[in-house]
Copies of this chain bind each other. A is one copy, B any other.
Amino acid sequence: MSELMGPEELEAALRAIGAARYHNRHPFHALLHGGKLTKSQVQAWALNRYYYQAIIPLKDAAILSRAPDREFRRAWRQRIVDHDGDEAADGGIERWLRLTDALGFQRDYVLSGEGLLPATRFAVEAYLHFVRERSLLEAVASSLTELFAPAIISERVAGMLASYDFIGREALGYFDKRLSQAPRDANFAIEYVKREARLPHQQQAVLRALEFKCDVLWAQLDGLYHAYVAPGHVPPGAFRPEEAAP
């Protein structure tokens, strides 16, 4: 039986999970921001990561659809606006597509999901199923990887701009926005979790939810590394840089 933690102790335990398991520790991340990847490898990353971006509003809508509190919903719905855009701003999905544009992909190909690694599809959809099936508290906790996003984004943007002449500042607009959005969202979610996880089994569930989400991110980079960094392992049906550019 686990003991009840105070709110600050719970936050420290969550941050310890991020320190150990967030995907900034993955070798693919080091290659990406260190400028060690070929253009094809960066293409594969952007193409696969698009699928994760595309599912974020569905994930947030699933959370909205389960939240009985109006104030909660008013705050959470901003995430959907941020990703899908509105009259005033394009939104995160559109900004991600500018990156895949800049990398030379046709939008139809990116949107179709053709060429995705099955590992990407399985990991991303596992996230969607998790927020639909687990408690609201766990669903909110699984968003807490955003606590660790600003550091990785800064590294990534600086490293990519310095290293890849095929990527310009405007192609990385997605990340500029996330630098302010992620802390705002993460702050709301961590306060919610610290307030609502009042029993030891709830606190444990919150910790497991964040581990799960770290696994979702890590498994995506594992799939990319295996398919596109280690030689010769692109699975059947997935994007192959050596074939005619899609």
Q: Does A198 contact B (CB under 8 A)?
A: no
Which residue among A27, A216, A219, A237 has the maximum number of chain B CB atoms within 10 Å of its CB?
Answer: A219
A219-246 contact mask (Cβ, 8 Å, vs B): 1 or 0: 1001101110010110111000000000
Q: How large is the interface on A (under 10, 10 to 19, 20 to 34, 35 or more residues)?
A: 20 to 34
B226, A222: Cβ atoms under 8 Å? Answer: yes
Give the residues in chain B near A236, CB-CB below 8 Å: 20-21, 214-215, 218
Distance between Cα atoms of A14 and B216 in the complex (Å)? 31
Residues of chain A having any CB pair with chain B under 8 Å: 20-21, 27, 118-119, 121-123, 125-126, 129, 211, 214-216, 218-219, 222-223, 225-227, 230, 232-233, 235-237
In this complex, what residue of B is CB-closest to A124?
Answer: B122
Give the residues in chain B near A122, CB-CB below 8 Å: 119, 122-123, 125-126, 216, 219
In this complex, what residue of B is CB-closest to A221?
Answer: B235
B235, A118: Cβ atoms under 8 Å? Answer: no
Give the residues in chain B near A125, CB-CB below 8 Å: 122, 126, 129
Give the residues in chain B near A118, CB-CB below 8 Å: 123, 215-216, 218-219
In this complex, what residue of B is CB-closest to A219?
Answer: B118
In this complex, what residue of B is CB-closest to A129?
Answer: B129
Give the residues in chain B near A27, CB-CB below 8 Å: 232-233
Which residue among A21, A223, A226 has the maximum number of chain B CB atoms within 10 Å of its CB?
Answer: A226
A230, B237: Cβ atoms under 8 Å? Answer: no
Give the residues in chain B near A218, CB-CB below 8 Å: 118, 235-236
A222, B119: Cβ atoms under 8 Å? Answer: yes
Pairs of residues from A and B, 3 with the lowest C-beta to C-beta distance, nearest first? A118-B215, A226-B226, A122-B122
Distance between Cα atoms of A223 and B220 in the complex (Å)? 11
